[in-house]
A and B are shown apart, each in its own frame.
Chain A
Amino acid sequence: LAKTTQPISMDSYEGQEVNITCSHNNIATNDYITWYQQFPSQGPRFIIQGYKTKVTNEVASLFIPADRKSSTLSLPRVSLSDTAVYYCLIDTGRRALTFGSGTRLQVQP
Chain B
Amino acid sequence: EAGVTQFPSHSVIEKGQTVTLRCDPISGHDNLYWYRRVMGKEIKFLLHFVKESKQDESGMPNNRFLAERTGGTYSTLKVQPAELEDSGVYFCASSQLAGTEYQETQYFGPGTRLLVL
Contact = CB atoms under 8 A, between A and B. Distances in A.
A50 B111 CA distance: 27
Interface residues of B, number: 28
Interface in B55-96: 55-56, 58-59, 91-93, 95
Contacts, number: 59
B91 A95 contact: no
Contacts of A94: 56, 101
SS of A interface (majority)? loop
A16 to B, nearest CB: 28
Given A43-B91, A43-B110, A45-B108, A93 B101 contact: yes
Contacts of B92: 43
A44 B103 contact: no
Interface of A: 32, 41-46, 49, 91, 93-101
